[in-house]
């Protein structure tokens, strides 16, 4: 046993580089598997805990200051029997748009901070109180979502458009918005210092007040009871927009569940590639070590003792790599989740139990390494010591030789290219593996770059993401219904079509509960389905009154299916509706109901107003200038608010996450390529010595191996580019449909095509140059002997 350990450790010392490469591959495999398992098992728990750790509001209500007096709301909350924390923000101004380097965001709200700053504020949330200073004149706080979309950093300047006046302000802090920092809303809140709101121009739009509530003991029943009692007390819906805890939290968690699954898939694919590379490393090492094994056998060592040497050497590399990889997987996962949470705006520490995953991966990977040693069992059983010592190769079965083609050099191409192709044909398996790895990594790269490009340009084709296109939102200011001018607006060359939609609140009582619950409902004016390219609905769209479509989240929560009847309390009366379709979109995650009406103005008359309409403009029309032109033309009768089709808020959340996935992919790809290059060149060092011995120059030898490695990598990368562009997005469409998208979000980009086709061949070329240059320093005799 002592002899086995001595020989095994001696083998490790003698084969430092192959052992190091093997350990790195095992480490990468373990780290990627740990990351994949944690994402698969713990992702939902992480986001639930992390969001709850912010201690933000569990309900938010917005209302017009002219509708309900803030003092009466405050008094009602003080008199309420429900124990809760609350925060009312009255001092607000709406912003026409926020602009940085030509990018504009609508739906901006500027709020005044309370007189005292601290963690007790429900919003904005400040997790680190060190060095907090109230924003001074010309300074504001913004949220991570605004920062991600406009690429802002602390110290940058941004332009705010208020009341036809542009104001430049400086960003002095990026803080979390627990309610509107998620991806399911396009409300952008910013904060100025206490008493500083008057420094900004007056806003022409209506003033909005915010009520944020955190219950001392939260439950869905307590939330719904509060909504019913409040609506009954004020005899109006709780607010123009009501955000419950489920809706607030789902905006943070839903997008990351999707991206976590995607990152898990990428990790598994990369781990599979590294596993195959590990097998190549083991086979290469055994081929290089065959003469030593023959010497051991000729000295009287048994086959089991020789196998024991392999177990010691591979076991040491395996245990070390698996252990480090398991630890690295935990750190990698923690870093990725911290990055994701930070980009979302959740700044809080979180703890998850990764020990079970790390221990399981460590045990599994270590056992797999030892199983690989079975290769040595089959090799050693047939080892011929004399043949191994003389030829340095394993004895193979005699086979009838096929008639060889005449591959003599004809001088029509460079000798280096000819010799490289001959070498590739003689060792097909190795170069097929290079091409396969290049194909897989090139395909993943172009798909991830395409997803990133699609996310960044989501507003160009919002319908593909299940988002209804909206360029200008039109509402009445003086009581004149917007419907009186829609026909006139549709004749404008700038307008492609209009559609009417209002958000109302219907109530539903599940069979197993005794109380009615408020549900956000989107009410569209017919014939809405003839104009809107809504690609997110499955089944038949509602086409007449009495039909509805239900979001998939609500359908799962209440056990609803298409074709069933659903009783709702709408506008003061109970009605039976037929469910014609189940849908899900990234903008609301299926938490709403859609219904239709023949007369939108009459349907919303109970709320004391008229229907709102959306203008979808022709391509090339500047929505911001056109909205200003319409405002001047109709002399303040209507409010024309330009928006970005509700797509940019998802861009601000998804783009950093896809970038994180892409970064993990590219870093792993480079590490795999470096290992692969070292493996290939080391297997050829005897031949390199022979080529030097016959008088070939270093440049000629380098060109041979550049041709060999880079041709295979370039071929695989080109195939991967074609597969990632033409094939894989279609194959991932079923996965996309689970998110409410008709097809996988992919938009090819020049950067993605370039990186996909060039990255691996370039890495192979650099690695080949480095290794060949290093080998060139070694003498011919030493190369041939080794």
User: What pLDDT digit, counting tens, does each position of 453-477 carry?
Assistant: 887 777 777 776 767 788 888 888 8
Rounded Cα distance between 344 and 349, Å, is 14
Instruction: Tell me the mean pLDDT in the region 86-99.
Output: 86
Tell me the DSSP string of 167-209.
Answer: EEEEEEEE-B-TTTSSTT---EEEEE-TT-GGGSPPPSSPPEE
Q: For the segment 121-135, what is each residue's pLDDT rounded down to a tens digit?
A: 888 887 666 668 889
The pTM score is 0.69
The 10s digit of each residue's pLDDT in 167-217 is 899 999 888 888 887 766 778 889 999 988 888 887 655 677 888 999 988
End-to-end CA distance of the chain: 28
Residue count of the chain, please give it. 786
Q: Give φ, ψ of 551 to 5 degrees.
A: -65, 145
SS3 call for 751: helix
Burial class of 333 by CB neighbour count within 10 A (0 to 12, 13 to 18, 19+):
buried
The Cα-based distances of 300 to 116, 287, 293, 297 in angstroms read 84, 21, 11, 5
Rg over alpha carbons for the chain, rounded to the nearest Å, is 33
Q: Which of 65-69, 561-565, 636-640 has the highest mean pLDDT?
A: 561-565
Return the structure tokens found at 743. 């097809």
Each residue's pLDDT tens digit, 644-695: 555 666 776 677 777 777 777 777 777 777 776 766 666 666 666 677 666 7
Question: CB-side exposure of 701: number of CA atoms within 13 Å?
Answer: 25
Dist CA 760 CA 80 (whole Å): 65
Q: Is pLDDT at 739 greater than 70 in this prediction?
A: no
On whether the CB atoms of residues 215 and 58 are closer than 8 A, the answer is yes
Question: What's phi and psi for 631, nearest 5 deg?
Answer: -60, -45
Nearby residues of 493 by Cβ (< 8 Å), 6 or more positions away: 618
Higher local confidence (pLDDT), 520 or 281 = 520
Q: Do 24 and 675 contact (CB within 8 A), yes or no?
A: yes
Question: Minimum mean pLDDT among 144-153, 509-518, 721-730: which range?
Answer: 509-518
Helices (H), 507-608: 552-558, 600-603
When comparing pLDDT for 588 and 723, which is higher? 723
Between the CA of residue 618 and those of 458, 472, 531, 643, what are the distances in Å? 17, 12, 14, 15
Q: Tally Cβ neighbours within 10 Å of residue 263.
A: 25
Query: Residue 76 forms beta bridges with which residues?
Result: none
Segment 694-707 mean pLDDT: 74
């Amino acid at each position: 046993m002592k002899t086995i350990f001595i020989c095994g450790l001696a083998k490790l010392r003698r084969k430092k580089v192959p052992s190091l490469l093997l350990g790195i591959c095992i480490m990468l495999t373990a780290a990627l598997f740990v990351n994949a398992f944690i994402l698969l098992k713990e992702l939902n728990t992480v986001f639930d805990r992390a969001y709850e750790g912010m201690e933000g509001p569990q309900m938010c209500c917005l209302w017009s200051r002219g509708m309900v007096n803030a003092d009466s709301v405050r008094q009602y909350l003080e008199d309420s029997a429900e124990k809760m924390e609350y925060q009312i923000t009255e001092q607000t101004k709406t912003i026409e748009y926020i602009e940085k380097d030509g990018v504009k965001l609508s739906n901006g709200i500027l709020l005044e901070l309370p007189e005292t700053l601290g963690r007790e504020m429900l919003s904005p949330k400040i997790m680190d109180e060190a060095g907090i200073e109230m924003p001074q004149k010309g300074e504001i706080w913004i949220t991570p979502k605004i920062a991600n979309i406009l690429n802002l950093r602390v110290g940058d300047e941004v332009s705010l458009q208020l009341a036809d006046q542009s104001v430049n302000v400086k960003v002095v802090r990026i803080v979390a918005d627990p309610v509107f920092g998620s991806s399911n809303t396009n409300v952008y809140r910013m904060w100025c210092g206490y008493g500083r709101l008057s420094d900004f121009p007056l806003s022409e739009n209506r003033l909005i007040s915010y009520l944020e509530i955190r219950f001392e003991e939260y439950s869905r029943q307590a939330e719904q009871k509060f909504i019913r009692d409040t609506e009954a007390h004020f005899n109006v819906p709780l607010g123009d927009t009501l955000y419950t805890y489920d809706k607030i939290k789902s905006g943070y968690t839903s997008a990351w569940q999707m991206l976590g699954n995607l990152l898990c898939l990428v990790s598994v694919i990369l781990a599979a590639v590294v596993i195959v590379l590990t097998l190549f490393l083991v086979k290469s090492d055994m081929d290089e070590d065959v003469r030593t094994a023959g010497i051991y056998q000729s000295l009287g060592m048994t086959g089991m003792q020789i196998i024991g040497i392999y177990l010691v050497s591979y076991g040491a590399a395996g245990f070390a790599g698996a252990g480090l990889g398991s630890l690295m997987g935990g750190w990698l996962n923690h870093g990725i989740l911290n990055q994701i949470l930070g980009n979302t705006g959740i700044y809080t520490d979180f703890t998850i139990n990764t020990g079970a995953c790390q221990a399981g991966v460590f045990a599994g990977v270590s056992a797999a390494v030892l199983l690989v040693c079975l290769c040595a069992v089959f090799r050693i059983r047939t080892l011929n010591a004399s043949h191994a010592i003389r030829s340095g190769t394993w004895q193979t079965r005699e086979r009838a030789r096929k008639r060889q083609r005449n591959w003599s050099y004809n001088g029509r191409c460079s000798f280096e290219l000819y010799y490289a192709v001959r070498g590739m044909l003689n060792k097909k398996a190795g170069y097929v593996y290079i091409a396969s790895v290049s194909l897989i990594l090139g395909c993943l790269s172009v798909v991830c770059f395409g997803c990133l490009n699609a996310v960044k340009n989501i507003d160009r084709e919002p319908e593909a993401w299940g988002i209804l296109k909206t360029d200008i939102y039109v509402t009445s200011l003086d009581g004149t219904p917007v419907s009186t001018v829609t026909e006139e607006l549709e004749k404008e060359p700038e307008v492609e079509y209009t559609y009417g939609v209002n958000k109302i609140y219907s109530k539903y009582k599940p069979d197993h509960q005794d109380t009615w619950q408020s549900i956000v409902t989107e009410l569209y004016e017919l014939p809405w389905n003839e104009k809107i390219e809504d690609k997110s609905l499955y089944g038949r769209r509602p086409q007449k009154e009495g039909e509805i479509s239900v979001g998939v989240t609500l359908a799962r929560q209440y056990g609803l299916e298409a074709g069933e009847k659903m009783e709702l309390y709408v506008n003061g009366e109970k009605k039976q509706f037929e469910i014609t379709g189940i849908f899900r979109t990234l903008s609301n995650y299926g938490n709403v109901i859609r219904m239709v009406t023949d007369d939108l103005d009459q349907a919303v008359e109970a709320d004391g107003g008229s229907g709102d309409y959306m203008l979808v403009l022709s391509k090339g029309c500047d929505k911001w200038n056109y909205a200003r032109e319409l405002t001047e033309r109709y002399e303040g009768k209507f409010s024309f608010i330009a928006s970005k089709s509700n797509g940019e808020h998802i861009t601000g959340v998804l783009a950093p996450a896809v970038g994180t996935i892409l970064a993990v992919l590219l870093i792993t790809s480079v590490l795999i390529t470096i290992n692969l290059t070292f493996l290939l060149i080391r297997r050829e060092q005897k031949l390199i010595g022979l080529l030097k011995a016959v008088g070939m120059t270093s440049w000629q030898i380098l060109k041979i191996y550049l041709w060999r490695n880079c041709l295979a990598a370039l071929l695989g990368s080109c195939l991967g580019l074609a597969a990632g562009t033409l094939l894989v997005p279609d194959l991932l469409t079923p996965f996309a449909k689970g998110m409410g998208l008709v097809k996988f979000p992919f938009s090819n980009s020049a950067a993605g095509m370039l990186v996909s086709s060039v990255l691996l061949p370039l890495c192979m070329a650099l690695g080949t140059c480095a290794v060949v240059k290093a080998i060139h320093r070694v003498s011919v005799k030493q190369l041939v002997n080794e």
